[in-house]
Structure 1
């Protein structure tokens, strides 16, 4: 395809116009990130106040990630069929209303339910922002603007936990869910006023409802099984009776997930408008980027969830302090995302940065698996910075290289496809890491039973109170424990959390292998709209000579020519 603009193509937007168009998208992403991260530092407090356990803690996070993953390809498919701007505004409304409703939760079940709805909106924001960017910015130029998205993500990820900690300590955790509302109103107004995407030809919309049901069933069954397998029954709704790794429950859930996944593949192959076009996997870049995105999702979501828990349960930090203590990871993400984005735009090279990012993911994940409750915090900060830099180098650029090689008509499903598998990887990763953490904590508590008993017996009048607290099975508030008991539980949770980070290492290695084999194709300088127009122009230049040959063969050209002479 020629990279030269054809006649009739809309004029290229200048830098100022692009920034104006992106302002609403950036604020929309900011409000979604803020609504998520503002809760992260206070989540241990929230689960403690709602009498939830470690499984509830994991599911509050997993519910959002699950619905985000499932809804992302749906939003992406809709983006190829209907008005993308309206879809983006709808996603903001769904996300923020669900977030506000979560602030009224009275039980872990209510909170998990509202967080699930929240994830539907988050899936739209994640998928549609990438698609809308592709409409107005070429892959070559997109690097520096993706750096802006990285900066906004970093700002929300830094500011969110800090703001959440301050709000929790000052007014209570429920206000964390209301803080995004005024920002969301401004984002909606900005998107309406500044985002003007080129008009697209209308298509008859067909939704693959059966594909949606089968995908949701397969992913949900798998995650519920992963979260509960190997745990003891507590009577909560998310527990399923006999949860042994090898049990009837395991056979039914894993078998059901496998059957639903196979049926999903069959339906997608036969569907006229498949939810996830399996033909995309013929594209080597797409397939390898999907594999690499899974590891990025595990690192990104796993770290954001369990590092905050580590700071509070293993180092006795308050929610505000936990937000401050995770700044090194966000600094790594910010520096890498903005810096690499600028370099990609300037030099047009992307693969070396992806390889370095994958190496940093491996290093950061492994090193975080070695931390203890008393590890020098400067060392922990270095480990967090490395992991954050790895995420910053890989996350946006994997979407970029897919958009660069995908047919413009499939930009929506291709972009959302990468985002979907990143979210799915993060969802499964958080579930597996949470299950590993819960199982590890149970084992360590059993091993340290004598130490815990001795610490409780030495508490005098407080002994009965703390014995009852620990017997409830709720997530403990470690920072409020007496020193002798607190040190034991800090050691237990530090051991469990660091152990869970080992799970991310093999996936990070797989990500590096996939990135190494990515085709090193140069970035195009055309936007999606320009590529579509150029494609139509190329089709026209091919069709006209063929038509002329047909006319000549039938004698029609001579007749027309004679007619023209007579008219003259």
Structure 2
């Protein structure tokens, strides 16, 4: 696929209708599940594996993203996009039928495999039909779907948890998915076909899966299941390093690499990728943990915890839309990166100050700060990555950029959840002691639901809430430190004019050689 498709404005709008539905499908899932997680892990006795419900999904999506991107370049966007929707729907149905945490985590991973194709597919289709100079206003609309999902998802998930059964948090994807399949079948029919040469870098895909999985296992198990210096963690570290090294060697030699290393020759692409990783780290970690604080400490129902996320989501949606318009009109984006990273860091730092006395109003103000920062960054980092890549490698470049962001999400969820759980259990034991053990029994924390907590005696309930608060503080302190690194990264990104189709590079960048517009 060496030439971009030329679509009229009307055709772009029609095509975007299908893309918006598909993106909504992918983004709604995590948001619907988030308010149900306290109940899910309680009923399935799995607090110690809380992070894996999200990490399994994000990790699988991370590994699958560059594969879907490359398949889109080779086979065409339409067939790969529809296939990813189908995989996602099968995973959703199986998640709803899960009987234990092991099954749920495995089926969430299957969902994630499909979701990886949805996200990269939307971005790659946009890159096919709209030049970077005009893409900001359209990406602003698609990125605005994220806050809409982040608002509607928790509300739907909370309502389902409070009034139906948590399993419907997964089944609800099915009717929307059928609509997405039907709409995309027709609106994507005019997209150009792929190159026709189907050569998949399966060895590269396997090595990618190995080293990223080993890395996430280190962040999940280190200091908890196993000591940092234990043979298990050191062995995983060896697998990570060896797997990464082998992956680089294979990608340099592969005829059709799953992740062309040439895209990383561009300085802005690398910096935008680093920033995407940091955004993913903060965003996924925060969304996973905030409902815990709202339901356990602030006493919100699952439905209300969804409503309480609205300040962050509305702020992100508004800024994403306005930012997209500004980029299209001015062609400048660097200021958004700097402002966004500063506000994201500030929002996470504010969350780190929350305790059992923090009001919902104050939490809402903190969310606005974080939401504005996210809105500045969500679409801008992807736009820079795509603008730094040749047009015939847009799918692979979009997949690589999305992979990096999702890798940040995987690491964020695993690290922040592990830190949160460890601190929660330590503080709970320290404050409740023997009384808690007698009142709630062994393993009580892992099986604690918000409803169960409300039925406990006040001293034990307060001890558990102190544990949640301490865990939240520790997790968001780490999140703020990581986000602060993003400020430095943003300062090093240089402004490169956004190109039109006439300016698009026509060939891949040779490995190790930066494009002419790199600085």
Shorter-chain TM-score tier:
over 0.9
What corresponds to 1:111 in structure 2? 104
What corresponds to 2:447 in structure 1? 474
Dislocated runs of 4+, deviation >6 Å: none
Partners of 2:334 and 2:97 lie apart in 1 by 46
What corresponds to 1:355 in structure 2? 338
Asked if structure 2 preserves the Cα contact closer than 8 Å seen for 1:318 and 1:479, the reply is no
Partners of 1:508 and 1:158 lie apart in 2 by 23
2:37 corresponds to 1:43: yes
Partners of 1:62 and 1:244 lie apart in 2 by 21
Partners of 1:426 and 1:68 lie apart in 2 by 10
Structure 1: segments with no counterpart, 5+ residues: 1-7, 233-242, 457-462, 537-568
SS state at 2:167 partner: helix
2:352 corresponds to 1:369: yes
What corresponds to 1:392 in structure 2? 375
2:135 corresponds to 1:142: yes
Asked if structure 1 preserves the Cα contact closer than 8 Å seen for 2:298 and 2:359, the reply is no
2:496 corresponds to 1:521: yes
Asked if structure 2 preserves the Cα contact closer than 8 Å seen for 1:150 and 1:333, the reply is no
2:58 corresponds to 1:85: no
Which among 435, 440, 447 is matched to residue 423 of structure 2?
440
Deviation string for 1:532-559 (max 9, x for gaps)?
A: 6x849xxxxxxxxxxxxxxxxxxxxxxx
What corresponds to 2:329 in structure 1? 346
**Which is further off, 272-281 or 301-310?**
272-281
SS state at 1:51 partner: coil
Partners of 1:290 and 1:172 lie apart in 2 by 39
**Which is further off, 313-322 or 405-414?**
313-322
What corresponds to 1:213 in structure 2? 206
Partners of 1:171 and 1:12 lie apart in 2 by 44
C-alpha displacement of 1:480: 3.8
What corresponds to 2:269 in structure 1? 286
Deviation string for 1:332-375 (max 9, x for gaps)?
A: 21111111111111222211111111111111111111111221
2:9 corresponds to 1:26: no
- CA change 1:472–1:310 in 2 (3 A) is closer
Deviation string for 1:160-197 (max 9, x for gaps)?
A: 11111111211111111111111111111111222244
C-alpha displacement of 1:486: 1.6
- CA change 1:17–1:501 in 2 (3 A) is same
Partners of 2:4 and 2:484 lie apart in 1 by 44
What corresponds to 1:158 in structure 2? 151
C-alpha displacement of 1:199: 2.3
- CA change 1:218–1:12 in 2 (3 A) is closer
Map 1:68-467 onto structure 2 (within 5 A).
Answer: 68-200=61-193, 202-231=195-224, 243-450=226-433, 453=435, 466-467=439-440
Partners of 2:352 and 2:94 lie apart in 1 by 36
Partners of 1:395 and 1:86 lie apart in 2 by 27
Structure 2: segments with no counterpart, 5+ residues: 508-519
Asked if structure 1 preserves the Cα contact closer than 8 Å seen for 2:72 and 2:395, the reply is yes
Partners of 1:130 and 1:271 lie apart in 2 by 25
What corresponds to 2:511 in structure 1? none
C-alpha displacement of 1:327: 1.1
Asked if structure 1 preserves the Cα contact closer than 8 Å seen for 2:76 and 2:194, the reply is no
Asked if structure 2 preserves the Cα contact closer than 8 Å seen for 1:211 and 1:267, the reply is yes
C-alpha displacement of 1:449: 3.7
SS state at 1:124 partner: helix
Partners of 2:279 and 2:445 lie apart in 1 by 36
Asked if structure 2 preserves the Cα contact closer than 8 Å seen for 1:21 and 1:196, the reply is no
C-alpha displacement of 1:9: 9.2
Partners of 1:505 and 1:140 lie apart in 2 by 33
- CA change 1:197–1:405 in 2 (3 A) is farther
Asked if structure 2 preserves the Cα contact closer than 8 Å seen for 1:60 and 1:112, the reply is yes
Q: TM-score, normalised by structure 1?
A: 0.85
Partners of 1:64 and 1:253 lie apart in 2 by 21
**Which is further off, 401-410 or 294-303?**
401-410
Q: TM-score, normalised by structure 2?
A: 0.93
Aligned length: 503
Asked if structure 2 preserves the Cα contact closer than 8 Å seen for 1:360 and 1:386, the reply is yes
Partners of 1:156 and 1:85 lie apart in 2 by 24
Partners of 1:196 and 1:313 lie apart in 2 by 48
Deviation string for 1:215-270 (max 9, x for gaps)?
A: 111111121222122225xxxxxxxxxx1121111111111221111111111122
C-alpha displacement of 1:124: 0.5
SS state at 1:172 partner: coil
C-alpha displacement of 1:470: 5.0
Partners of 2:190 and 2:332 lie apart in 1 by 28
C-alpha displacement of 1:126: 1.0
Which among 507, 512, 533 is matched to residue 487 of structure 2?
512
Asked if structure 1 preserves the Cα contact closer than 8 Å seen for 2:320 and 2:375, the reply is yes
Asked if structure 2 preserves the Cα contact closer than 8 Å seen for 1:75 and 1:124, the reply is yes
Partners of 2:411 and 2:133 lie apart in 1 by 33
C-alpha displacement of 1:24: 0.5
**Which is further off, 102-111 or 262-271?**
262-271
